[in-house]
Every structure is written in structure tokens, then in C-alpha cells.
């Protein structure tokens, strides 16, 4: 482990000069710079990150909080964040905080306060009042991937309006008996709840009655909820909006198993445009979590570069993608 003192000695300069040469900050003659760089190369010198952090006050790492990793959305989001972070030469510290887990408590109480990071990206979580207070007390740059929230930059699709659009698509097709699959109270991300609200809003605006089959945002849970919902042929809805594509796909599989054909006997629409959506010919509202991850990093970098930089709220892109899981109801 060579230190900057070793490099300086080998190049025949002071530590200060070696530091300047390597960092590119401050004046150094080209000739000296070259000598220092060569010396560093010879010794395979790499600055000790803790020492740099202590001296500069920057850790070079960004903390990312997600409620789960086993949803396509968050997997893609984290991948996008990772890519952008690497470009910015920043590390990613991951906190996978399932709702209600003891981990969540520990992270907020013990881990986060250590501030081993320069900034924080919180995705899909709804902090409690107490948690929010803790977050703010950290005095670190903060970006939320989720709904508009005062005092911090945000990026997200408008979950409520997206769910409304999905519901209206079904309504326009002529359906009135439309159920919502998903948004189970426990474990729902903040976005899930807003999607449920959007569905309800569209339904009541159309004078139709809401009907919710609670499920987690996973295929098996959507499957189970739908199997139940669809089991009685007399009371079954003619259409379903899934809180996300996982729930919608679970619904399609349940329908197939029950011999209900999609879309002729049951229309199903999802939200997300999951990687598997095409395979099931699922009509859905597309969004691009990977891009949102990159965007979150951009927002965070802006705050990092200038803590007084403007707060931004970016509305991420979404689009209705018509495939083959929705149709007019059988007359």
C-alpha cells in the first residue's frame, strides 16, 4: 500500500505538489505533473478513500433506499442509478428496506445517521413523520423517486393519472365492471396506493362502482387474488386493471387456468411495461424506470454540486401500449 508520501518521494516533490498533480486541482508544471503521474503508476498508487473523505468532507458514495428488490421496477431503477453513478465516479450503498421489517428501523436509526454518503436517493418509500425528520436532519442531498414532495427534488410518473388512464381505456372500451388487483395495504409502495386512488377516481367519475382485490405487487400474489376474484362466473368482472404488470400477468395466468379467455372474456391492463409483458401480449402503460434512475442521479448531482440549486420535480414519461389483452366486453 503506497501512500502519497511514497509517490511524492519517488517523484522528488512534496506531498502537496503530488496531491495537486494527481487531482488536477491547482497549478503544477507539466513536467512535474508527468513525473508524479509516472511515479504513481510505478507504485500503483490509489488514494485511500477514508483519508480523502476526511480531508474533503466527501465520501463519494450515494445511498439508495428501496422497499424491495424483487419487483422489476426497482431492479431496473437500481440498474439505471448504478450506471449513472459509475459515470459520475460515485459508489452505491444499497438499503433494501422492506416495509415493517426490523431492517427498516435499524437503517433509519443507526445506519443512515452515520452519513457514510454524500447524498440519498429514496425510491418508492413513504417515510413516516419521524423518519422524514431523521432524513432531513442528515443534511444530505436528497432525491425521491416518487410523487411530488415539497423540499426535495423528485422524479416519477404520475401514478394517479396513469392508473386513471388505464381505467379509462377499459371504460372507453365499454366495460363498467372493472376490478383493481393489487395495492395490498402492507408492503405497498407509495406509488401503488396512488394508483389505487387513480382507479377509484376514474371509476367514480364514470359512475361505476370500484372493486378491489388486494394483492402484493408480485405475480403469485396477483395470481392468487385473481383466482379468487374470477372463481365465481356470475359475479366476475369483465375487466381488470393490475396495480402493476406483475399483478396483471398473474391475473392473466389465473384466467387461463380457469378457462377464461383473454381478452374476449376478460380484459386485463397493467402498468409498467415489465420485461415479461410482451410475452403475455399485455396492454399496459409503459414507463422507463432505468431512465428514471439516471434522472434521479442527475438531480442529485445538481444538488451535490450546489446545495442551493433549484429543486426540480420531473414528470417521467409514460405511454399507453396497446397489445392484445384488452377488448370490448362480450355483449
Partner DNA sequence: CTGAAAGCGCTTACAG
**Contact positions vs a second copy (CB under 8 A):** 44, 46-51, 53-54, 59-61, 69-70, 72, 75-76, 78-79, 82-83, 86, 89, 91-96, 103, 106-107, 110-111, 113-116, 137, 218-220, 223, 250, 253, 256, 275-276, 278-280
Q: How near is the Cβ of 252 to a second copy at its closest, in Å?
A: 10
Using the minimum distance from each CB to a second copy, give the nearer residue, 78 or 183.
78
Q: Residue 210 binds which one of a second copy, DNA, none, with CB within 5 to 8 A depending on kind?
A: none
Residues 185 and 175: beta-carbon distance below 8 Å: no
Binding mask 25-64 for DNA (x = CB under 7 A): xxxxx-xxx-----------x-xx--xx-xxx--------
Q: Which of the residues 97 through 126 are near DNA (CB under 7 A)? A: none
Using the minimum distance from each CB to DNA, give the nearer residue, 60 or 147.
60
Buried b (16+ CB within 10 A) or exposed e, 223-254: bbbbbebbeeeeebbbbbbbbbbbbbbbbbbb
Q: Could you tell me where the DSSP H helices lie in the chain?
A: 4-11, 15-23, 30-42, 49-56, 72-87, 102-106, 129-137, 159-173, 190-205, 219-230, 245-257, 289-305
The C-alpha atoms of residue 135 and residue 115 are separated, in whole angstroms, by 10
Q: How near is the Cβ of 9 to DNA at its closest, in Å?
A: 11
- By C-alpha distance, which of 152, 132, 136 is closest to 144? 152
User: What are the C-alpha distances in Å from 62 to residues 53, 55, 82, 136, 301?
Assistant: 13, 18, 10, 16, 10
Q: How near is the Cβ of 27 to a second copy at its closest, in Å?
A: 26
Using the minimum distance from each CB to a second copy, give the nearer residue, 184 or 203.
184
Using the minimum distance from each CB to DNA, give the nearer residue, 15 or 313.
15
Q: How near is the Cβ of 37 to a second copy at its closest, in Å?
A: 15
Of 10, 22, 77, 289, the residue at the interface with DNA (CB under 7 A) is 22
Residues 240 and 226: beta-carbon distance below 8 Å: yes
Burial class (CB within 10 angstroms; exposed 0-12, middle 13-18, buried 19+) of 292: buried
Q: Which of the residues 239 through 278 are near DNA (CB under 7 A)? A: none
Using the minimum distance from each CB to DNA, give the nearer residue, 110 or 232.
110
User: What are the C-alpha distances in Å from 38 to residues 7, 120, 169, 271, 285?
Assistant: 9, 37, 64, 54, 54
Q: Residue 75 binds which one of DNA, a second copy, none, with CB within 5 to 8 A depending on kind?
A: a second copy
Binding site for DNA (CB under 7 A): 1, 3-5, 12-17, 19-20, 22-23, 25-29, 31-33, 45, 47-48, 51-52, 54-56
Amino acid at each position: 500500500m503506497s501512500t502519497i508520501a511514497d509517490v511524492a518521494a519517488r517523484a522528488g516533490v512534496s506531498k502537496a505538489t503530488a496531491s495537486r498533480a494527481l487531482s488536477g486541482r491547482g497549478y503544477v508544471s507539466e513536467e512535474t505533473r508527468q513525473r508524479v503521474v509516472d511515479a504513481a503508476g510505478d507504485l500503483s498508487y490509489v488514494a485511500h478513500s477514508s483519508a480523502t473523505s476526511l480531508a474533503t468532507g466527501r465520501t463519494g458514495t450515494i445511498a439508495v433506499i428501496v422497499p424491495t428488490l424483487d419487483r422489476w421496477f426497482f431492479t431496473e431503477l437500481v440498474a439505471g442509478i448504478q450506471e449513472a453513478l459509475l459515470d459520475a465516479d460515485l459508489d452505491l450503498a444499497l438499503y433494501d428496506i422492506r416495509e415493517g421489517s426490523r431492517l427498516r428501523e435499524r437503517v433509519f436509526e443507526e445506519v443512515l445517521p452515520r452519513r457514510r454518503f454524500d447524498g440519498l436517493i429514496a425510491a418508492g418509500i413513504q417515510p413516516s413523520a419521524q423518519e422524514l425528520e431523521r432524513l432531513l436532519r442528515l443534511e444530505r442531498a436528497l432525491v425521491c423517486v416518487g410523487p411530488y414532495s415539497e423540499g426535495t427534488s423528485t422524479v416519477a410518473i404520475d401514478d394517479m393519472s396513469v392508473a386513471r388512464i388505464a381505467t379509462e381505456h377499459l371504460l372507453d372500451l365499454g366495460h363498467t365492471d372493472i376490478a383493481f388487483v393489487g395495492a395490498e395495504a402492507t408492503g405497498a409502495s407509495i406509488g401503488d396506493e396512488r394508483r389505487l386512488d387513480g382507479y377509484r377516481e376514474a371509476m367514480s367519475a364514470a359512475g361505476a362502482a370500484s372493486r378491489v382485490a388486494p394483492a402484493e405487487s408480485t405475480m403469485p400474489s396477483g395470481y392468487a387474488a385473481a383466482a379468487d376474484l374470477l372463481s365465481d362466473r356470475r359475479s366476475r368482472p369483465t375487466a381488470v386493471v393490475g396495480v402493476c404488470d406483475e399483478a396483471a400477468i398473474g391475473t392473466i395466468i389465473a384466467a387461463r387456468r380457469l378457462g377464461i379467455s383473454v381478452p374476449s372474456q376478460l380484459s386485463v391492463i397493467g402498468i409498467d411495461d415489465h420485461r415479461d409483458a410482451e410475452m403475455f401480449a399485455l396492454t399496459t402503460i409503459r414507463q422507463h424506470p432505468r431512465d428514471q434512475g439516471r434522472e434521479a442521479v442527475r438531480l442529485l448531482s445538481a444538488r451535490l454540486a450546489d446545495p442551493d440549486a433549484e429543486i426540480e420535480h420531473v414528470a417521467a414519461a409514460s405511454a399507453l401500449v396497446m397489445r392484445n389483452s384488452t377488448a370490448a366486453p362480450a355483449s
